[in-house]
Amino acid sequence: MTDYGDAEERCAWCGRRFAQSPGPGRKRRYCRPSHRQRAYEARALAKTHALAEGQVLMAAERLDAIRDLLYRIEAAMDDVDADLASDDSPDGTRQALWHLYRACAEVRTISLEPLAVGTRR
C-alpha cells in the first residue's frame, strides 16, 4: 500500500492519489502536468457545449463501467447484510469483509476522467 501521509491529494482530473510536494508554494491540484492540460481542455470543451461551471462531458462507455462497478459493490453489501444477519461470528464477519473487499478491489484500477478536446474515450 502506498502511504501518501498527511500530504495526500487527489488529482482534480483523474482522481488518483498523489503526494503533495512539501514546502511553501501553491498546492498542486493535478498529479501530472498533462492532467492539468487535459482539465483545461475539458473546461474549454464544456464551454463550447454550453455546460454550466463544474460540468464535464464523459464517455458513456466509461460511465457505464462505473455504474456496473457501483452495482456490484451494492450487491456485495446486500450479501454482507444477509450473511451477517445469519452469522456474525468472527469467522463469518471475516468472510463477509473479504467478499466486500473483492467486490471493491476494482475501484483501485478505475479512473473518472472527463473528456478533453480530441479525446476518443
Pick the closer one to Zn ion by CB: 14 or 96: 14
Q: What residues from 22 to 81 belong to the interface with Zn ion (CB under 5 A)?
A: 31, 35
Q: Is residue 13 involved in binding Zn ion (CB under 5 A)?
A: yes
Cβ-proximal residue to Zn ion, closest one? 11
- Member of 8, 9, 11, 91 binding Zn ion (CB under 5 A): 11
Q: How far apart are CA 19 and CA 66, in angstroms?
A: 25
Rounded to whole angstroms, how far apart are CA atoms 7 and 70? 28
Q: How far is the CB of 116 from Zn ion (least distance, A)?
A: 12
**Which amino acid, residue 118?**
G
Q: Which spans of this chain sit near Zn ion (rule: CB under 5 A)?
A: 11, 13-14, 31, 35
